[in-house]
Structure 1
Amino acid sequence: MFHIKEGVLQIEDSNMHYVSLGKGNKPLIIIPGLSDGLKTVKGTGMLMWLMYRGFAKEYRVWIFSRKNQLKPGMTTREMAQDQAAAMDILNLNNAVVMGVSQGGMISQWLAIDSPEKVKKLVLVVTLSRQNQTIQKVVVNWIDMAENERYGDLAVDTMEKAYIEKALRKWRPFYWLIRRTGKPVSKERYLIQANSCITHNAYPELSKIKCPTLIAGGGEDKIVGGAEVQQEMAEHIPDNQLLIYPDLGHDAYTAKNFITKVLDFLR
């Protein structure tokens, strides 16, 4: 019924987990955000189905983690090279690619460096270069991780990601979130976090030639508000802009978000 498959690929000297789902025959690649630094997609097949089932009728959806072992100082551009290698192994060329947050940073490089792999691009709650908002937030997360304050890291991630209305529902469960917030690998999380605060695809955005949907929240406390998406829209030649003014980094949870993405893809 769910058509869920979990798999692992060998990429150079490491492996990479992925989940695929849906019964469509068109490939949709989803690259998740920095939460992947806390836990890979391994064992999350049903959760991924619940999140992305709206795409499952028309698309075969593939959600990829970063490699399990990342080299120190690895950049979002190098992570895009790993993603391209994974797509080669699975013969996933000319696909729709949707990157969320850090995944959007990686997706930018994928479209720039491997344009033959990206038919259409969806950039969600992400940015193309640094600003004070992301520097302050992610540097604080790095400090928490380095000092193994994983409970504080998990809670602050929630506080920054969601708007107040949603947080009122989550806060009663912070005691549980604090207990489950430890990353599988501290080093892997830190490498991914540092790649976020060194990302800069801004000078090369004009090289993204595929149709692109840029989506974000006006109240985003992690990458910044609508001006961040507007900046990308000014430099990506063929784009549509979708802003949810009353949402934050959780803009992809909007009730009509998947419908809007499908409308763009059609």
Structure 2
Amino acid sequence: MTSQTRTAITTGDGVRIVYRFDGDENKPVLLLSNSIGTDLHMWDGQVSALTEHFRLLRYDARGHGASDVPSGPYSLDRLGRDVVELLDALGLQRVHVLGLSLGGIVAQWLGIHVPERVDRLVLSNTAAYLGPANQWDRPIAELLEASDMQVTAERFLHNWFPARMLQGDDEVVEGFRRTLLATQREGVAGSWAAVRDYDLRRTATLIHNPTLVVAGEHDTVTSADHGKELAATVPGARFTVLPTVHMANVEAQAEFVDAVVAFLTEQS
């Protein structure tokens, strides 16, 4: 396996987006898109298994990780175009896309707006709509007024992982906690604004790329019903439910990777 250290592009609006490759450059590229409050390391546990089949392209979304943190609300259109500009800069015409949570929303945007850049889509623990919009205004305001990420970090962790993983000093959970605490509040708030303002319930019908929707049976952020509704909206989409909370890639790593690989490598 070959790997590459982090490097970056600069988008048309002047934001530096950090990315990295892992795996054999002769294999098909699989782009991984992250949830709010994480960076490209949210996929660390899956890299070894996935690089047996793919060259992975991971990136820190604007507002997260080592990428720039512009102020103000972000839009889904801007988050999607960040990915398009990344693919353009790297000379990648067509890739598989796997997105989880907000990453799954960005993946939907790609399937709707630039389907020619996408081979197959995996939409994990995500939804076509997370309204009503006004429910997001107070959390955004409270976060921007807070002195740090402490309260928001603990809320995220309890929404992401089962109780058994939150008890004690689970090494994986601690890694996510460190990332959350290091994330700038403006990045999370800006991304929440993108979630507040998006609604793909109608336009998701325009996705015609082969699509797998993965849901968590116990997910309280994007419920199994959200996943089922999304799968019913995307023409021909497949649907699978794993016995997890929100971070299905972490909690049920083997089952998650098996489902993703089986779908992405299936012969047409």
TM-score for the superposition, normalised by structure 1: 0.85
Match of residue 25, structure 1, among 21, 27, 31: 27
Q: Could you tell me how far 1:77 is from its partner in structure 2?
A: 2.1
Does the C-alpha gap of structure 1 residues 3 and 169 become closer, same or farther in structure 2, counting only changes over 3 Å?
same
Q: Number of matched residues?
A: 256
- The answer for unaligned runs of 5 or more in structure 1 is none
Residue 237 of structure 1 pairs with residue 238 of structure 2: no
Alignment of 1:1-266 (within 5 A): 1=1, 3-12=3-12, 13-23=14-24, 24-36=26-38, 40-41=39-40, 48-67=43-62, 68-70=68-70, 72-131=72-131, 139-140=138-139, 143-170=142-169, 181-223=180-222, 225-244=223-242, 246-253=243-250, 254=252, 255-266=254-265
Does the C-alpha gap of structure 1 residues 136 and 149 become closer, same or farther in structure 2, counting only changes over 3 Å?
farther
- The answer for unaligned runs of 5 or more in structure 2 is 63-67
* Alpha-carbon separation, structure 2, partners of 1:170 and 1:140: 28
Q: Could you tell me how far 1:154 is from its partner in structure 2?
A: 1.4
Q: Could you tell me how far 1:91 is from its partner in structure 2?
A: 1.5
TM-score for the superposition, normalised by structure 2: 0.85
Does the C-alpha gap of structure 1 residues 177 and 142 become closer, same or farther in structure 2, counting only changes over 3 Å?
farther
Q: Percent identity?
A: 19
Does the C-alpha gap of structure 1 residues 182 and 76 become closer, same or farther in structure 2, counting only changes over 3 Å?
same
Contact 1:155 1:177 in 2 (8 A): no
* Alpha-carbon separation, structure 2, partners of 1:138 and 1:220: 22
Contact 2:110 2:118 in 1 (8 A): yes
65-74 or 137-146: bigger deviation: 137-146
Deviation string for 1:185-228 (max 9, x for gaps)? 332221012212222111101110000010010211212x2110
* Alpha-carbon separation, structure 2, partners of 1:175 and 1:238: 38
* Alpha-carbon separation, structure 2, partners of 1:140 and 1:168: 26
Q: SS of 2:48's equivalent?
A: helix
Does the C-alpha gap of structure 1 residues 116 and 148 become closer, same or farther in structure 2, counting only changes over 3 Å?
same
Q: Aligned-pair RMSD on alpha carbons?
A: 2.8
